[in-house]
Chains A and B, each alone.
Chain A
Amino acid sequence: EDQVTQSPEALRLQEGESSSLNCSYTVSGLRGLFWYRQDPGKGPEFLFTLYSAGEEKEKERLKATLTKKESFLHITAPKPEDSATYLCAVSERGSSNTGKLIFGQGTTLQVKP
């Protein structure tokens, strides 16, 4: 069964303490892997798309990387405003999978000042 697993479930960091979030996936053919940020009571906010192993994307303090089995979201010198739930999702190849993202359970990040 297709699956997306994120770890850890929760992460507490001090401001400036860098860390990484993990997303492992098992799908028969990856079309794309997506990272979102979700604040309480809001819809997910799009961050990155990764399509092939070895690809990297950066945005401010965030950097996403992709291998054949997993993706990492690296957070460098985080600030309190980076506190949120980070969601990983995959899209699988095949005409029967259009428009469907399979989400992990998310990692809730808290950054303390």
Chain B
Amino acid sequence: KAGVTQTPRYLIKTRGQQVTLSCSPISGHRSVSWYQQTPGQGLQFLFEYFSETQRNKGNFPGRFSGRQFSNSRSEMNVSTLELGDSALYLCASSFGTRGTAYNEQFFGPGTRLTVL
């Protein structure tokens, strides 16, 4: 079956702009988690959405926000971009409900954001 897809794959923005990234989960998965990956900090959790509701949030400023639609697709928005926001943004999907495999997350290819 099709994996997690993310669009766009690459983005170049300038400081102060805003950006929206999109993630389509594996069919049947209702949970989408977002992560930021940088060489210095590694993979850090941004937030998780399940059934259109944010269930969990990491330690990122309010400039980072997201939403989820009824078909489980998710978007992430970053406003007032800073140079330090340059990173690979990854989304991961999972079933998100009780069960031994419910927290197994499958990642998309990522969106490479460069802020100039």
Interface of A toward B, CB cutoff 8 Å: 31-32, 34, 36, 41-46, 49, 51, 87, 89, 91, 96-106
Whether A99 contacts B104 by the Cβ 8 Å rule is: no
User: If the complex has contacts A43-B90, A46-B104, are A99 and B56 also in contact, measured as CB distance less than 8 A?
Assistant: yes
Q: How many residues of B contact A (CB 8 A)?
A: 29
- Cβ-based interface call for B64 (8 A): no
Tell me the interface secondary structure of chain B in the complex.
strand
Q: Which residues of A contact B92 (CB under 8 A)?
A: 101
B2-53 contacts to A (CB < 8 Å): 4, 31, 33, 35, 42-45, 48-50
Whether B43 contacts A43 by the Cβ 8 Å rule is: no
Q: Residue on A with the closest CB to B106?
A: A46
Whether A98 contacts B106 by the Cβ 8 Å rule is: no
Complex: how many Å from CA A32 to CA B56?
17
